[in-house]
Amino acid sequence: MIDTMGIILAADDKIAPITEIRAISALPIAGSFRLIDFVLSNMANAGITNVGVATNSNYSSLLDHIKSGKPWDLDRKEAGLTILPPNMISARHGMISGDIDILGGIYHYILKSNETYVILSLGTSLYKIDFEKVIEEHINNQADITVIYKDMSNLAESELSRFTLLEMSDDKRVTDIEIKPYYPKSTMASLDVYVMERALLCSILDESMARGDHDLIKDAVIKKLSGLRMFGYEYTGYADKIDSLKSYYRNNMIFLDNVIRKELFSSENPIYTKSKDRAPAKYGEDAIIENSFISDGCNINGMVVNSILSRGVKVAKGAVVKNSIIMQDSVIEEDAYLDHVVFDKEVHITEGRKLLGQDSYPLAIEKGGII
């Protein structure tokens, strides 16, 4: 791998009630994984050995998950995985109003690193990409900044408006950027992953902090766009970002699609996660399982259909779980009926209860809820 460091910004956006205790980057995906596993694994598979994860708030769950970085081979004596918690960030700037404030708080970490290039990524997107090829194209284009994008022409305008959208010339040079436009003029959606020289990032941060700017793209990059060689790198695989309960639900359920699952969990460039020593899932005589992800430690005696269950979930005899996401150590008692729900950890549904949501608006229950 060409000498490159990685910086992951663990977003502080809120998705009530499932981010009350965690950052979006720490949300469970496909049962046993977390969202941050994908970008961390992408970096590790490309040979990046210096990765900084900058957190803002609700960071304990994220820190517990990634710890020393061992699953990604980042537990090293030199470089490796560096956790940059909010007390370090806020010490320089006080109130955090944007990603420049977060990056400014870790400025000295960036400055003292030795790599030539940096991959800067928000930890809210789901994708599987070869960063080595991205760096290679960045160098071949003699680009100042390369942004990874995907053509989202299949999406409705309301969905496109969730993204930062790019306009590009025929040679993929970025000519204009719109941030969450109400009326999108482009379908080229940024995946919030940027490649540049580390020295350029430091220069941008110096200037932006001196001017009191807060947003890297809006306040810095867009203003400098005419003077920068900024190119797009097209990603054609599955990608989306998680910024709402609806998108979180959808991006879990996508793993029940065999084609998407094989793409994101292929043996080539695998996705790594923290391992937990739990017994295999146990299925009773009356258990019925259809098209579902069942994680280790689950005890299933009822029916589970089109659902994703994290570790340690218990489904009693006669209970029915359909089209739902159930997080770790939740309990569903006898004859309960769940459809289109999202449970945080340790939710307890008592006997005979019936909870119904919708595909476009799943019903979410906070951690430890008892119903």
Find tokens 């003077």 and name the residue: 227
| Residue 79: predicted pLDDT | 84
Is residue 29 assigned to a domain? Answer: yes
Question: Does some domain include residue 271?
Answer: no
Res 96: pLDDT: 67
Average pLDDT per 10 consecutive residues for the chain, totaling 371 residues: 88 83 90 94 95 82 87 89 70 64 88 95 93 96 97 93 96 95 95 96 92 87 92 96 95 95 92 88 96 96 97 97 97 98 96 94 95 93
pLDDT for position 92: 46
Task: Please state, in angstroms and rounded to a whole number, the distance separating the CA atoms of residues 301 and 319.
Answer: 8
Same domain, 328 and 361: yes
Residue 273 inside a domain? The answer is: no
Same domain, 251 and 301: no
**In-domain check, residue 83:** yes
Residue carrying the six token digits 């009822």: 302
For residues 38 and 138, membership in a common domain is answered with yes
With respect to residue 276, please indicate whether it lies within any of the assigned structural domains: no
pLDDT of residue 344: 95
Q: What is the CATH number of the domain that holds 168?
A: 3.90.550.10
* 128 and 232, same domain (yes or no): yes
Of 210, 234, 264, the domain-final residue: 264
Q: What is the pLDDT of residue 99?
A: 83
* 233, 289: one domain: no
Q: Is residue 277 part of a domain?
A: no
User: Cα separation of 151 and 155, whole Å?
Assistant: 9
User: What is the reported pLDDT for 78?
Assistant: 83
Whether 224 and 345 map to the same domain: the answer is no
Provide the strand spans (E) within 169-226. Answer: 174-179, 188-197
Domain boundary among 207, 232, 264: 264
* Boundary of a domain, candidates 229, 264, 299: 264
Instruction: Note whether 228 and 333 are same-domain residues.
Output: no
pLDDT for 86 equals 64
**What is the count of structural domains for the chain?**
2
**Is 190 in the same domain as 288?**
no
Q: Are residues 109 and 185 in the same domain?
A: yes
What one-letter code names the amino acid at 315?
Answer: V
Chain-centre distance for alpha carbon 335 = 35
By residue range, what is the domain housing residue 150? 4-264
Long-range contact list for 208-214, CB < 8 A, 24+ apart?
208/100, 208/104, 209/100, 209/104, 209/107, 213/98, 213/100, 214/97, 214/98, 214/99, 214/100, 214/101
The burial class, CB within 10 Å (0-12 / 13-18 / 19+), for 306 is middle
In this prediction the pTM is 0.92
Ramachandran category for residue 80: left, alpha or beta (phi over 0 → left; psi -120 to 50 → alpha)? left
In a domain, 270, yes or no: no
